[in-house]
Structure 1
Amino acid sequence: MSDARTILEKLRRGDRPTEAELYWFAEGLACGTVSDAQAGAFAMAVCTHGLGSDGRVQLTNAMTETGQRLKWRLDGPVVDKHSTGGVGDCVSLILAPALAACGAFVPMISGRGLGHTGGTLDKLEAIPGYNTDVHPDDFQDIVADVGCAIVGASADIAPADKRLYAVRDVTGTVDSIDLITASILSKKMASGLEALILDVKTGSGAFMAEPGAALDLAQALVGTAQGAGCMTSALVSDMNQPLAASAGNALEIIEVMEVLTGSGDALDQNLAKLTIALGGELLALGGLAADAADGEGRIRGAIERGDAASVFGDMVAELGGPADFVERWPDRLPAARVMLDIHPSAAGQIAAVDTRMLGEIVVRLGGGRMRAKDRIDLTVGLSDIARLGETVDNSRPLARIHAATEEAGRAVAADLRKAFTLSDGVVEVPPLIVERIG
């Protein structure tokens, strides 16, 4: 018979708990027999000593089993994608409908923004009427009918993770690879997936800023997911600049719609390029493409033909949004009251971007949250963000600020300038995809 004290003593000594002990502890987190103090001690001990690769798989499976595990009977593979978070990263909103248009089913359970990174659910709620809180039965029906649905997690999905995540946030153990891995994958495994693609960010806007740390996390995630029985691979991608040219909830929906509706050169920008690369990998994992290159062609075709936009429109309508959103999206999205173009003090090329600072500016404008219960302004943020290697001057601003008031916009202008390093020499732009794992 297991008990919290015995498990914690083993961890403190650097010994690895048994599989049965990890299952007991996960169940204790979910049902409340493990106290907050014991949960915090567990998180700190795992952060200090680690669980090893087998322990990561066991903890992930244990946390998955504490709640509902979705089961599917569909005529195509059930797949999903997860990003470790960044600035201007709205890939999910393009990728889910594109995958569905290619024959996959995508039950995407997403989260809200916290800190400098944006949240998929917050972005979707910029669409009037879109409801991210649906009953699990309705969620399954919409996935079956439309091919995809992007919603929030119900209380029945991996409840042990919700408890442990809250404890990690206040005990300084958020950056433990073992705990990150179990947290991400327990929710994904509970979704009943057959295949998963992971987008692990590295760079100035990523939680894992150093490439080595991002690579370690990617390897841990892929190994653990495969050990738990899910076909998985990962791309380590660059976050040394925002992925899209906008950061902010309604502003990123505009970026999404420009890709889905083929506006301008949107398909040639980093947002679409990474979406297509991730989708190609996932279609190959799910057996809907011969290889990643074939999958990329299928994803691009679904976007170019408008099939992905059609699926996106169906999803929006099924989840309470306007039935004509795809046709009339410029009229449907809320806009900020004030827009300010911020120019550099001198002309030059963008040599470096403090991407995290840009995300924090969005939060200061009211477009993000530092605490889970913070209310946010869906209209504010940054658009037209200058890219690495681009020349900025009196005619080309660093970015456009969207703010609730002119005072709020002016208050962040100085920090916006500080976020960009300019050069008059040749600027080397890092590759968008740094590494493939799996």
Structure 2
Amino acid sequence: MFSAVDVIRAKRDGGELTTAQIDWVIDAYTKGVVADEQMSALAMAILLNGANDREIADWTAAMIASGERLDLSGVGKPTVDKHSTGGVGDKITLPLAPLVAAFGVAVPQLSGRGLGHTGGTLDKLESIPGWRANLSNAEFIARLSDPGAVVCAAGDDLAPADRRLYALRDVTGTVESIPLIASSIMSKKIAEGTDALVLDVKVGSGAFMKDAEQARRLAETMVRLGDAHGVRCTALLTDMDTPLGRTAGNALEVTESLEVLAGGGPADVVELTVALAREMLALAGKPDADPAAALADGRAMDAWRAMISAQGGDVDAKLPVAPESEEVRAESDGVVARMDAYAVGVAAWRLGAGRARKSDPVSAGAGVEILKTVGETVSAGEPLLRLHTEDVSTFAAARTTLDGAIDIGGSTAKRQLIMARIGG
């Protein structure tokens, strides 16, 4: 029998927690034996003193063991998932899941909702009339067999310890701990039962990780965790100083994703979608597959229509459009040298596209449309952004957020979207 206070003291004093201590504290916290204030103290001790690879692997295993681990062996196809650490305009899951499924690979994509300046995949898809996020485990597995891709909310029985700890970290200043971030992400992904996983770790102002070296550490930790638990992993470090694509907002991002699936769309969204698809297909045993060709010839769009229809979505319905819009115009001639992703994300949130608390509603049509992005020439008075909202009173706060967020100069360096590859 262990004591929560003894476990806290061990980590507070820079010690190494044993496997038995970790198993006990996670199980006891899940059952309510360890109180929130005790787990808060332990989380802070981990943030301040770190954890080694063995401790992180044990912590992850204990969180997986707190719930069920899905068995996808009956799907009859290789399974591979993608996880992004989140950013502004990051709609990649929408075109990516059906694109990979078009090659006969099953994509089990358990996704979340937006909070603050980062958008949520489920919020985006719920702007499609009829589409539903909540599926039973049986429905989830059935959709993996046919049509081959499913995007839905995680069930309550997957890593329930993580659900409790995630909420606690958010209010105790311990979100930034790499051991806790890595174990949180990977416990859910491993419990999901996928054979392989590709990680998109964002770096920059609009990302959770602002520093490239910290992002690399996180990616390396997660790849090691996957390998330790029998899930093959690779990771890409990708730029999030500038918003991804031309939109930030729910229905706006669905529309942009449809452009990509139709063989068009913004170059950066296409580049990252194809790069991640190649990583996923290689892990699924299809290294010679050509995802760019499947975007061009309509196979990915066919898979999208099947995926959305299978979850009740009306693929032919018109998407919601916000009734009010307003433009942000350039103050001088030149080239867009910088567009702060964080500011654009917060502006979209203030317009109604995001939420401050998980219980808040979101507006399907609200958000920011990017008319001129980094590297493009603009004239004084020309529109840079178009703001969309249901409530005109939100324009003032959005504009204030965007003050100083865009620099116009003489030239700019070419954006390096994919910064590094890790694993494999």
Q: TM-score surpassing 0.5?
A: yes
C-alpha displacement at 1:414, in angstroms? 4.4
Q: Is the 8 A contact 2:330 2:381 kept in 1?
A: no
Q: State the distance in 1 between where 2:54 and 2:153 align.
A: 29
Aligned to 1:282: 280
Instruction: Confirm or deny that 1:319 pairs with 2:339.
Output: no
Q: Is the 8 A contact 2:332 2:381 kept in 1?
A: no
Segments of 4+ in structure 1 off by > 3 A? none
Gap change, CA 1:414 and 1:4, over 3 Å in 2: closer
Aligned to 1:153: 154
Aligned to 2:398: 412
Give the counterpart letter for 1:397 in structure 2: P
Paired residue secondary structure (2:322):
coil
Structure 1 residue aligned with 2:330, among 334, 344, 347?
Answer: 344
C-alpha displacement at 1:384, in angstroms? 2.9
Q: State the distance in 2 between where 1:68 and 1:306 align.
A: 37
Give the counterpart letter for 1:168 in structure 2: R
Aligned to 2:63: 63
Q: Per-residue displacement from partner, 1:385-426 (whole Å, max 9, x unpaired)? A: 421111122464211111113343344234335210111x22
Give the counterpart letter for 2:419 in structure 1: V
C-alpha displacement at 1:255, in angstroms? 0.6
Q: Is the 8 A contact 2:82 2:199 kept in 1?
A: yes
Structure 2 residue aligned with 1:366, among 348, 352, 358?
Answer: 352
C-alpha displacement at 1:367, in angstroms? 0.9
Larger deviation: 360-369 or 384-393?
384-393
Q: Is the 8 A contact 1:158 1:190 kept in 2?
A: yes
C-alpha displacement at 1:196, in angstroms? 0.5
The percent of aligned pairs where both chains have the same amino acid is 41
Matches within 5 A, 1:190-269: 190-262=191-263, 265-266=264-265, 269=267
Q: State the distance in 2 between where 1:110 and 1:78 align.
A: 16
Q: State the distance in 1 between where 2:350 and 2:392 align.
A: 14
Paired residue secondary structure (1:332):
coil
Q: Per-residue displacement from partner, 1:235-284 (whole Å, max 9, x unpaired)? A: 0001111111100001000011111122xx42x61011101101101111
Gap change, CA 1:248 and 1:8, over 3 Å in 2: same
Paired residue secondary structure (2:295):
helix
Aligned to 2:271: 273
After TM superposition, the score normalised by the length of structure 1 is 0.93
Aligned to 1:184: 185
C-alpha displacement at 1:224, in angstroms? 1.7
Aligned to 2:421: 436
Q: State the distance in 2 between where 1:207 and 1:312 align.
A: 29
Instruction: Confirm or deny that 1:426 pairs with 2:411.
Output: yes
Q: Is the 8 A contact 1:343 1:393 kept in 2?
A: no
Structure 1 residue aligned with 2:300, among 303, 308, 311?
Answer: 308
C-alpha displacement at 1:341, in angstroms? 2.1
Paired residue secondary structure (1:351):
strand
Instruction: Confirm or deny that 1:375 pairs with 2:375.
Output: no
Q: Is the 8 A contact 2:346 2:398 kept in 1?
A: no
Q: State the distance in 2 between where 1:180 and 1:186 align.
A: 10
Q: Which runs of 5+ in 2 are unaligned?
A: none
Q: Which runs of 5+ in 1 are unaligned?
A: none
Q: How many residues align?
A: 422
Q: State the distance in 1 between where 2:12 and 2:370 align.
A: 50
Q: Is the 8 A contact 2:346 2:401 kept in 1?
A: no
Give the counterpart letter for 1:68 in structure 2: E
